[in-house]
Amino acid sequence: MVSWRIGHGWRGGADGDRVRQVTLRTGSVTAEPAPVARLGVRQLLGNSGFRRLLGSRFAGQWGDGVFSAGLGSAVLFNPERQADPVAVALGLAVLLLPYSLLGPFAGALLDRWDRRQVLVFANLLRGVFVVLTALMVATGVGGHTLFVGALLVTGVSRFVNAGLSASLPHLVRTEHLVEANALATTIGAGVSITGTASAIGLREFFGYGNVGSAWTTSVALLGSLVAALVAAGFARGRLGPDQVDEPDQPMVAVARGLFDGGRAAWRTPTVAAGFGALAAHRVAFGISTLVALLLFRNSFTDQGILRAGVAGLGQALAAGAIGVVLAAILTPLLVARLGRPSTVRLALLTAALAQLSLGVPMRLATVLLAAFVLSLAGQTIKLCLDAEVQSQIGDETRGRVFALYDTVFNLSYVIATAFAATLVADDGQSVPLMLAAATTYLLGLMGYMLLFRRAPARAPTAAIQPAAGV
């Protein structure tokens, strides 16, 4: 009898778990799950390419924080300023839909052009739009014209973020993508808050008038310039794409971006399942957001340190931000122990229970807790899907899938708020909508499990060498 031995090694399983390969004898294979070995912050930041990518990302996020806070009340697309539920939904649609509809076509560019060049020139373009918007603020331009300028800045920012996500697998090994995404999210949230705080301080220095607001807004240009400069430090081709799967005509390539992104996602069951889970979260979260806005404005009253109105919305946003940061810390630990599929299932179930136990009562304290838990669960799903796309989608179509990802992320949210706006009362009190949101999470869980079953099991692979003796 001949015995064969497989060299011990590690591979990524179909579900994102790690599998240790052991001895193969007489044609039988034994595989046992083992946890992912985490690198830790120090080793991740020891990767010069990853560190440079983070530098470009954080510079842009700081600038975005400055830009958003600098505009302040000068930008009139804030849904909180609207007077009724339908107007709130309309404000969200106008803010989110334009780039969401164009994103898949722009994604084709990420899979056709050198991403290093895209990051450099897109950041510079964002800087131009920042300056133009600041000039509009300085000259007293408002309304839809000012909104268009702000929309152009945010649109380019999302395009840049899609390029950064598509580039990450060229710098970090597949098994460490969740950890790398979590680190980027955690620090990035802090950097964005720092940008917001910087804008507040700058407004004190420059003043609160049109000219002062314009100067504060224009400081965001520094973030775009630094982001472009840092990205320029990559060698050409370092960020991909490694190969181009596009027709010769650029317009045809751009026009088919949505179809290609959807086809690539559908052909990868783990990614398709993740898209379903994310869509379910965004639908439920959109319903909850609209209800919460109306509750804080028209129903809640101050309760000790808990506030209603604009201050209360600020507290809800802070609770959600804490949930996002905590998700960045917990998700790598959960994935290492449970695997990505089980982590997503746990997040969806947790969100459904939170919606029922904390959302349905519609009290000030429980709504704040719901904002924390739902943000934690939603960000966990997003981080898992980020890593799934980065590890399972080919480099030649990854940019289009991430652009489609952005469309699903925003479009499902807008559709949900539009639906809820036709049913919710002006004071936000609507138990049926909270139950509908909880049901959506449960349906998302069922859909995720059904779609994930399409994923084929992967057999252990390794170089096989003869063992000593016959």
pTM: 0.68
pLDDT digits (tens, 9 = 90+) for 156-173: 887 898 889 889 999 998
Q: For residues 115 and 164, what is the distance between their CA atoms, to the nearest angstrom? A: 8
What percentage of the chain has pLDDT greater than the value 90?
Answer: 37
| Residue 38 burial (CB count, 10 A) | 16
Judging by DSSP bridges, how do beta strands 4-6 and 10-12 pair with one another? unpaired
Of 363 and 399, the structure prediction assigns the larger pLDDT to 363
**Per-residue confidence (pLDDT) for residue 108, from 0 to 100:** 66
- Going 284 to 384 to 450 to 351, the CA torsion angle's sign is negative
pLDDT digits (tens, 9 = 90+) for 217-227: 999 999 999 99
Instruction: Delimit the domains of the chain by residue range.
Output: 1-34, 41-452
Contact 302, 405 (CB under 8 A): no
Contact 341, 335 (CB under 8 A): no
Dihedral angle, C-alpha 263, 265, 270, 271, nearest 10 °: -170
pLDDT of 444 above 50: yes
CATH number, span 41-452: 1.20.1250.20
Phi, psi (rounded to 5 degrees) for 204: -65, -35
Of the candidate ranges 85-99, 268-282, 319-333, the one whose mean pLDDT is the lowest:
85-99
pLDDT digits (tens, 9 = 90+) for 201-211: 888 788 877 88
